[in-house]
Structure 1
Amino acid sequence: MTSQTVTVAGPIDAQAAVPAPQPRPRLGIDLDVDVCVIGAGLAGLTVAREAALGGLSVAVLEGRNAGWNASGHQLGTVMPGFGVPISDLIERIGFEPTRELWAMSKDGADYVRGTAALIPGVALTEGALEVSNVEIGDKLISRLQMLGEDFGTEVQGWQVDQVRRVLHTERYFHAVHYPTAFQLDGRRYLQGLADLAVEAGARIYEDTPAIGIDPAGIRKRIFTPQARLRAAQIVLAGNVHLGPPLQRLSDTLLPVWRYAALTAPLGDKLAQAISFAGSVSDTDGIDHYRIVGGDRLLWSSPETSFAVQPARFAGLIARRIRTIFPQLGPVPIEKVWSGTVGQTVHGMPQIGQLQRGLWVASGFGRQGLNTTAMAGQLIADGLLAGDERWKAFSPFELVWAGGRIGRVAGQLIGSALRGRAAMHGLLARRRERARARDLINEVRRQMARSAALKSRQEPRRPGGGGPV
Structure 2
Amino acid sequence: MTAPAYIDTYYSRTLATPETYPAATGRIEADVCIVGGGLAGLTAALKLARSGRKVVLLEAQRIGWGASGRNGGFVSAGYATGFSSIARRVGEDRAKALFRLSMEGVEIVRRAIQELGITDAGLVPGIAKALRYDSRDALQASCESQQRNFGLKLRYLSRDEVRSLFVSPKYHEAILDEDAFHFHPLNYGRALAREAARLGAAIHENSAVISADLDTPHKIVRTKDAEVRAGHVVFATGGYTGAVLPALRRAFLPIATYVLLTEQAPELVQSAIRTRAAILDDRRAGDYYRLVDGGSRILWGGRITTRTTDPRDIAALLRREMVATYPQLADLKVEAAWSGLMAYARHLMPQIGQWKPGVWYCTAFGGHGMNTTAIGGTVIAEGIAGESDRYRLFEPFGLLWNGGILGRVAAQLTYWSYQAADAAREFRSR
TM-score, normalised by the number of residues in structure 2: 0.94
Determine the C-alpha separation between the residues in 1 that align with 2:140 and 2:175.
10
Which residue of structure 2 aligns with residue 101 of structure 1?
98
Post-superposition offset of 1:134:
1.2
Structure 1, unpaired ranges of 5+: 1-6, 430-468
Q: Secondary structure at the match of 1:371?
A: helix
Which residue of structure 2 aligns with residue 82 of structure 1?
79
Post-superposition offset of 1:164:
0.8
Q: Secondary structure at the match of 1:241?
A: coil
Which residue of structure 2 aligns with residue 452 of structure 1?
none
Post-superposition offset of 1:404:
1.9
Counterpart residue type for residue 254 of structure 2: P
Determine the C-alpha separation between the residues in 2 that align with 1:140 and 1:242.
37
Are the structure 2 counterparts of residues 79 and 396 from structure 1 closer, same or farther at C-alpha, using a change threshold of 3 Å? Answer: same
Q: Secondary structure at the match of 2:396?
A: coil
Return the index of the structure with the highest Cα Rg.
1
Which residue of structure 2 aligns with residue 27 of structure 1?
24
Determine the C-alpha separation between the residues in 2 that align with 1:259 and 1:240.
14
Contact kept, 8 Å, 1:253 with 1:401, in 2: the verdict is yes
Post-superposition offset of 1:408:
2.0
Write out per-residue CA displacement over residues 240-278 of structure 1, whole angstroms, 9 at most, x where no aligned residue: 433222123111100001100000123312212111111
Are the structure 2 counterparts of residues 60 and 12 from structure 1 closer, same or farther at C-alpha, using a change threshold of 3 Å? Answer: closer
Determine the C-alpha separation between the residues in 2 that align with 1:60 and 1:91.
37
Written as runs of structure 1 = structure 2, the 5 A alignment for 1:68-467 is 68-117=65-114, 118=116, 119-285=118-284, 286-293=286-293, 294-309=295-310, 312-429=313-430
Are the structure 2 counterparts of residues 189 and 311 from structure 1 closer, same or farther at C-alpha, using a change threshold of 3 Å? Answer: farther
Post-superposition offset of 1:8:
6.5
Contact kept, 8 Å, 1:36 with 1:59, in 2: the verdict is yes
Written as runs of structure 1 = structure 2, the 5 A alignment for 1:12-23 is 12=11, 17-19=14-16, 21-23=18-20
Give the total of aligned pairs. Answer: 421
Determine the C-alpha separation between the residues in 2 that align with 1:218 and 1:410.
38
Write out per-residue CA displacement over residues 50-92 of structure 1, whole angstroms, 9 at most, x where no aligned residue: 0010000000011111111101101211111111111211222
Q: Secondary structure at the match of 1:366?
A: coil
Determine the C-alpha separation between the residues in 2 that align with 1:428 and 1:130.
17
Contact kept, 8 Å, 2:16 with 2:120, in 1: the verdict is no
Counterpart residue type for residue 238 of structure 1: T
Contact kept, 8 Å, 1:130 with 1:175, in 2: the verdict is yes
Q: Secondary structure at the match of 1:129?
A: strand
Counterpart residue type for residue 100 of structure 1: A
Determine the C-alpha separation between the residues in 1 that align with 2:268 and 2:7.
25
Post-superposition offset of 1:186:
1.5
Are the structure 2 counterparts of residues 8 and 87 from structure 1 closer, same or farther at C-alpha, using a change threshold of 3 Å? Answer: same
Contact kept, 8 Å, 1:239 with 1:250, in 2: the verdict is no
Write out per-residue CA displacement over residues 227-251 of structure 1, whole angstroms, 9 at most, x where no aligned residue: 2111111101112433222123111
Q: Secondary structure at the match of 1:97?
A: helix
Are the structure 2 counterparts of residues 122 and 311 from structure 1 closer, same or farther at C-alpha, using a change threshold of 3 Å? Answer: farther
Determine the C-alpha separation between the residues in 1 that align with 2:312 and 2:154.
37
More displaced stretch, 273-282 vs 342-351: 273-282
Which residue of structure 1 aligns with residue 3 of structure 2?
none
Structure 2, unpaired ranges of 5+: 1-5
Which residue of structure 2 aligns with residue 52 of structure 1?
49
More displaced stretch, 417-426 vs 298-307: 417-426
Contact kept, 8 Å, 1:288 with 1:301, in 2: the verdict is yes
Contact kept, 8 Å, 1:21 with 1:191, in 2: the verdict is no
Which residue of structure 1 aligns with residue 34 of structure 2?
37
Post-superposition offset of 1:23:
2.5
Counterpart residue type for residue 330 of structure 2: G
Are the structure 2 counterparts of residues 65 and 272 from structure 1 closer, same or farther at C-alpha, using a change threshold of 3 Å? Answer: same
Post-superposition offset of 1:427:
2.2
Post-superposition offset of 1:19:
4.5
Counterpart residue type for residue 83 of structure 1: A
Determine the C-alpha separation between the residues in 1 that align with 2:201 and 2:119.
20
Contact kept, 8 Å, 1:263 with 1:335, in 2: the verdict is yes
TM-score, normalised by the number of residues in structure 1: 0.87
Determine the C-alpha separation between the residues in 1 that align with 2:348 and 2:279.
21
Determine the C-alpha separation between the residues in 1 that align with 2:248 and 2:317.
34
Contact kept, 8 Å, 1:318 with 1:331, in 2: the verdict is no
Post-superposition offset of 1:20:
6.2
Q: Secondary structure at the match of 1:276?
A: coil
Contact kept, 8 Å, 1:8 with 1:311, in 2: the verdict is no
Percent identity for Structure 1 against Structure 2: 32
Post-superposition offset of 1:12:
4.3
Write out per-residue CA displacement over residues 275-311 of structure 1, whole angstroms, 9 at most, x where no aligned residue: 1111001111410001111221100011211123266
Counterpart residue type for residue 87 of structure 2: I
